[in-house]
Amino acid sequence: MHPGHFFLALVLTKFACALSPTVVHEKRVDHPSLIHSRRLEAHVAVPLRIGLKQQNTGHLPLHLLSVSDPQSPHFGQHWSAEKVAQVFAPANESRDAVAAWLVGAGFDKERLRMSHNKAWVHVDNATVDEVEALLGTEYHVYNHHESGEEHAACDSYSLPAHIAHHVEIITPTVQLNIKLGSSSTRCSKRSKRTGPAPVFPLHVPAGCDQAFTPACIHSLYNVTYVPKATDRNSFGIVSQAPATYLQSDLDTFFANFTPSLVGKSPLFVSIDGGIVEAVNGTDVGEDGWILQYTMSLVEPQPVTMLQVGTLITGNFLSFNEWLDAVDGLYCTSNGGDDLTYDPQFPNLPIGDFQEHSCGTVKPPLVISNSRADFEYRLSPFYTARQCNEFAKLGLMGVTVLFSAGNAGAAGTTRGYCLDDNGSVNLNATHFNPGWPGGCPWITSVGGTQVKANASGLASTTGVAQEEVWNQDMTHGFFVSSSGGFSNRFPMPQYQRAAVNSFLEKLKKTNPEQLRHFNPGGRAYPDISANANNFVTVENGVFSLDSGTSGAAPTVASLITLVNDARLAVGKSPVGFINPTIYSPNFARAFNDVVSGTSQGCKGWQGDRGGGFQAGPGWDAASGVGTPNLGLLIEKWLALP
Ligand SMILES: *[C@@H]1O[C@H](CO)[C@@H](O)[C@H](O)[C@H]1NC(C)=O
Ligand SMILES: *[C@@H]1O[C@H](CO)[C@@H](O)[C@H](O)[C@H]1NC(C)=O
Ligand SMILES: *[C@@H]1O[C@H](CO)[C@@H](O)[C@H](O)[C@H]1NC(C)=O
Ligand SMILES: *[C@@H]1O[C@H](CO)[C@@H](O)[C@H](O)[C@H]1NC(C)=O
Ligand SMILES: *[C@@H]1O[C@H](CO)[C@@H](O)[C@H](O)[C@H]1NC(C)=O
Ligand SMILES: *[C@@H]1O[C@H](CO)[C@@H](O)[C@H](O)[C@H]1NC(C)=O
Ligand SMILES: *[C@@H]1O[C@H](CO)[C@@H](O)[C@H](O)[C@H]1NC(C)=O
């Protein structure tokens, strides 16, 4: 244990006696996969953490736009990590108020500790009954109906009104982060090729609709650039243990498609116990696929695999582990002494991690994630906090990309949507936006498929040879590119012109659809790339993988090449790209996806399938379109 600072210096009386009404701070909605089991036992210890309100986060969007809007005089002038930490750190006043409240509620001050980053107050050995009294709540245990895993949470909790504005989030409380179905969190879909392995070389680029290879990306997306600033550049993909890759699979793939890479591995960074070795139950398909393509596309630029250990968290999904690793200010722990990740009890095996990775990783300039969650499952405080963190990375010049997901406008591949009260069920008809697609400060990548019999050559007209990715599934409902509108985050300025033009068209062509989503929300995806029929090698066998899991790392690879071109001439990396890619000057640097539709809810499919239809310009199925790298590099080199 690293004892933190005790709160000896404060003026307790200033707050302790103030009687104040309580307000509900966070609450969660029901989840169909959870079965209530029992009240959590009163004596169980809860690793109580109070996340203090950060300062100046209201100005984050302005600061971010000032360094990433191509019209801004400060374009590209990213902030140092130190400046970011200093500007947003919580105020002493918040720390003191929270400490006084806890002491007033009967927690001895010896039990309170401050995290090293001054952002979290820890309460030692708090028990369920103590925390229930403090937060006016009850903790219950729920079982996940498929895995049987136990999760504990409260439905909501309250704070005194005079404390609430000093607190961002309290853990563990309402967060559950369980997974809804195997394909809902991982943006991929496997379809094993049956019959004989393909004979290489395949006939590409024609045939990219049937078997998509690196040659298809080179051809379709006009990729001829060869990196020359690899010493200054960096590119990371986030992976979640026990998923990993087999070097033998990489080598077989490289031997066929990128011979110069045979024998090469990604750089490896372990976060919270991530391990590269394949163990029993390890999935080597998804990471293998992503590495085969990213390494091939940016070669000779090394690719870093940021491997997050999930030996403790099992089926949980969180982006906080790697965010903790790249930003010590964000993370909840002192480093090394406890597991402070969101859903973390009952029976938390404290100390199981040798080291909680907190601020241990310098963020790569481009970070690609192939997983997605749902907005409705996370509390507004939680999503606000995480979204701010993505904005901070953008402020530091990091491009953060996420797969949009594989579930169309519905949240899940089985077509579950949202009721009026925010719960999900199969008959519901409100579109169910993903997370973090709804955060305006990340770049969300949707999926396309190459049209049948397309030439596979780069478009000379600016219109893509691709349509929206949309495939039937034998089991379940469908898979198609996710996209839609956040119910929480308002539409950011940078996309207003593009999205409003889409909404205007919708009013004329399909006005009924407007009733099924929040047209004032942040709209996604921002951009797209092929998500269909990637040829990969898994466990020694050639197979075809599909999903936006492949689209995000493809776009991330091309942004890494843009960064190389800028770094090579002494310019800054591109950082947060959305204000740039939506700017009219960049429109011609994308292949506009104008056909195809994503899927809607099972409960409301309408006469057009219910999902979003692609058309000229931005749309909620394909974003601004797929990249034309040659043109993008020209345009980005013209910016300061
Ligand atoms: C905040 O408190 C610390 C001591 O815990 C002190 O060193 C620092 O000067 C204070 N900052 C401000 C702005 O008062
Ligand atoms: C918490 O409880 C454990 C076991 O009951 C004990 O060993 C430890 O000293 C306690 N920690 C504090 C800070 O009271
Ligand atoms: C992996 O699992 C199989 C069957 O489940 C078992 O026979 C084998 O011993 C396990 N191997 C290791 C290394 O745990
Ligand atoms: C939400 O509404 C649905 C019906 O539309 C109902 O079945 C469900 O019980 C409601 N849930 C809550 C938490 O009110
Ligand atoms: C959906 O509607 C059908 C038919 O009206 C009904 O039988 C079923 O129980 C409903 N399901 C849910 C989850 O509300
Ligand atoms: C693609 O080409 C094949 C063979 O020439 C033809 O049978 C098929 O109809 C074509 N499909 C489309 C969508 O043009
Ligand atoms: C591909 O990019 C190059 C610049 O690298 C550009 O000259 C060319 O016109 C682009 N090709 C197409 C088809 O857009």
pLDDT, residue 147, reads 63
Q: Higher model confidence: residue 429 or residue 341?
A: 429
Average pLDDT over residues 458-474: 90
Share of the chain above pLDDT 90, in %: 57
Task: Count H helices and E strands in the chain, helices first.
Answer: 16, 32
Tell me whether the omega of the peptide bond preceding residue 553 falls within 30 degrees of 0, making it cis. Answer: no
Least confident of 3-12, 184-193, 357-366: 3-12
Enumerate the known binding-site residues: 592-593, 617, 619
User: Ligand 1 centre and the CA of 92: distance in Å?
Assistant: 6
- Cα distances from 153 to residues 261, 296, 342, 426, in angstroms, run 47, 44, 11, 24
In sign, the C-alpha dihedral spanning 271, 276, 279, 284 is: positive
Pairing of strands 235-240, 366-369: parallel
pLDDT at 246 over 80: yes
Ligand 2 pocket by C-beta < 6 Å: which residues?
A: 111, 124-125
Pairing of strands 399-403, 304-308: unpaired
pLDDT, residue 568, reads 98
Q: Tell me the HSE value of 336 on the side-chain side, using a 13 A CA sphere.
A: 6
Which residues 6+ apart lie within 8 Å of 453 measured at CB? 206, 209
Cβ atoms within 10 Å of 584's Cβ, excluding its own: 8
At 289, which amino acid appears?
W
Task: Say if ligand 7 is within 6 A of residue 631 CB.
Answer: yes
Q: Higher model confidence: residue 48 or residue 104?
A: 104
Cβ atoms within 10 Å of 515's Cβ, excluding its own: 10
Least confident of 34-43, 120-129, 380-389, 537-546: 34-43
Alpha carbon distance 287, 284 (integer Å): 6
Pick from 294, 213, 279: which is nearest to 244 by CA? 279
Closest ligand relative to 210 C-alpha: 6
Least confident of 144-158, 340-354, 574-588: 340-354
Pick from 116, 128, 106: which is nearest to 12 by CA? 106
Q: Tell me the HSE value of 286 on the side-chain side, using a 13 A CA sphere.
A: 25
pLDDT, residue 283, reads 83
Least confident of 121-130, 216-225, 311-320, 565-574: 311-320
Average pLDDT over residues 460-480: 85
Average pLDDT over residues 121-128: 87
What's the residue count for the chain? 640
Q: Higher model confidence: residue 324 or residue 443?
A: 443
Average pLDDT over residues 106-134: 87
Closest ligand relative to 218 C-alpha: 7
In ligand 2, the atom with minimum distance to the C-alpha of 124 is: 13
pLDDT in tens, 478-495: 789 999 999 999 999 999
Return mean pLDDT, the chain.
84
Probe target for ligand 5 pocket from 145, 426, 601, 602, with the most ligand atoms within 8 Å of CB: 426
User: Which tokens belong to 197?
Assistant: 């392995």
pLDDT-derived band at 381 (thresholds 50, 70, 90) equals confident
pLDDT, residue 99, reads 95
pLDDT, residue 17, reads 38
Task: Say if ligand 6 is within 6 A of residue 147 CB.
Answer: no
pLDDT-derived band at 182 (thresholds 50, 70, 90) equals very low
pLDDT, residue 351, reads 28
pLDDT-derived band at 38 (thresholds 50, 70, 90) equals confident
User: Which tokens belong to 297?
Assistant: 């596309």
Alpha carbon distance 418, 475 (integer Å): 22
As a three-state string, the secondary structure of 490-523 is ECCHHHHHHHHHHHHHHHHHCHHHHHHCCCCEEE
DSSP alpha helices (H): ranges in 116-246? 128-135, 161-164, 182-185, 214-220
pLDDT, residue 293, reads 98
Closest residue by Cα to atom 10, ligand 5, is 427
As a three-state string, the secondary structure of 352-406 is CCCCCCCCCCCCCCEEEECECEEHHHCCHHHHHHHHHHHHHHHHCCCEEEEECCC
In sign, the C-alpha dihedral spanning 217, 578, 440, 421 is: negative
User: Which tokens belong to 543?
Assistant: 């197979």
DSSP alpha helices (H): ranges in 333-463? 380-395
Task: Say if ligand 5 is within 6 A of residue 509 CB.
Answer: no
Task: Say if ligand 7 is within 6 A of residue 219 CB.
Answer: no
DSSP alpha helices (H): ranges in 155-283? 161-164, 182-185, 214-220, 247-257
User: Which tokens belong to 584?
Assistant: 């009219």
At 20, which amino acid appears?
S
pLDDT at 577 over 60: yes
- Residue written as tokens 């099992």? 314
Least confident of 193-197, 380-384, 541-545, 625-629: 193-197
What is the enclosing helix (H) or strand (E) of 632?
Answer: helix 629-638
Closest residue by Cα to atom 3, ligand 2, is 125
In ligand 2, the atom with minimum distance to the C-alpha of 125 is: 1
Average pLDDT over residues 22-34: 76
As a three-state string, the secondary structure of 73-101 is CCCCCCCCHHHHHHHHCCCHHHHHHHHHH
Pick from 198, 281, 252, 247: which is nearest to 537 by CA? 252
pLDDT at 332 over 70: no
User: Ligand 4 centre and the CA of 422: distance in Å?
Assistant: 8
Alpha carbon distance 239, 308 (integer Å): 6
Cβ atoms within 10 Å of 137's Cβ, excluding its own: 21
pLDDT, residue 391, reads 96
- Which residues on neighbouring strands pair with residue 45, listed in sequence order? 127
pLDDT, residue 307, reads 87
pLDDT in tens, 71-85: 999 999 999 988 988
Ligand 4 pocket by C-beta < 6 Å: which residues?
A: 30, 419, 421, 423
- Cα distances from 390 to residues 22, 262, 319, 402, in angstroms, run 31, 35, 10, 11
Q: Higher model confidence: residue 342 or residue 153?
A: 153
pLDDT, residue 632, reads 98
Alpha carbon distance 550, 546 (integer Å): 7
Task: Say if ligand 6 is within 6 A of residue 199 CB.
Answer: no
pTM: 0.87
Tell me whether the omega of the peptide bond preceding residue 73 falls within 30 degrees of 0, making it cis. Answer: no
Highest mean pLDDT: which range of 300-304, 316-320, 419-423: 300-304
Alpha carbon distance 230, 364 (integer Å): 12
Enumerate the known binding-site residues for Ca(2+): 592-593, 617, 619
CB 367 within 8 A of CB 399: yes
In ligand 7, the atom with minimum distance to the C-alpha of 225 is: 5
Q: Higher model confidence: residue 143 or residue 428?
A: 428
pLDDT, residue 403, reads 96
Average pLDDT over residues 233-251: 92
pLDDT-derived band at 421 (thresholds 50, 70, 90) equals confident
User: Ligand 2 centre and the CA of 346: distance in Å?
Assistant: 17
pLDDT, residue 33, reads 65
Average pLDDT over residues 508-513: 94
Closest residue by Cα to atom 11, ligand 7, is 222
pLDDT, residue 443, reads 98
At 135, which amino acid appears?
L
In ligand 5, the atom with minimum distance to the C-alpha of 427 is: 1
Closest ligand relative to 338 C-alpha: 2
pLDDT, residue 582, reads 98
Helix axis angle, 60-68 to 380-395, nearest 10°:
30
Alpha carbon distance 249, 239 (integer Å): 17
pLDDT, residue 31, reads 64
Show the domains of the chain with their CATH numbers.
Answer: 3-179 (no CATH), 191-195+206-327+363-637 (3.40.50.200)
Share of the chain above pLDDT 70, in %: 82
pLDDT, residue 634, reads 98
- Residue written as tokens 């136990």? 150
User: Ligand 6 centre and the CA of 453: distance in Å?
Assistant: 6
Closest ligand relative to 96 C-alpha: 1
Cβ atoms within 10 Å of 219's Cβ, excluding its own: 20
pLDDT, residue 160, reads 95
CB 90 within 8 A of CB 53: yes
pLDDT, residue 436, reads 94
Task: Say if ligand 5 is within 6 A of residue 426 CB.
Answer: yes
Probe target for ligand 5 pocket from 427, 429, 604, with the most ligand atoms within 8 Å of CB: 427
pLDDT in tens, 125-169: 888 899 999 999 998 887 766 666 667 778 889 999 999 999 988
Gap between the terminal Cα atoms of the chain: 48
The pair phi, psi for residue 6, each rounded to 5°, is: -85, 160
pLDDT-derived band at 336 (thresholds 50, 70, 90) equals very low
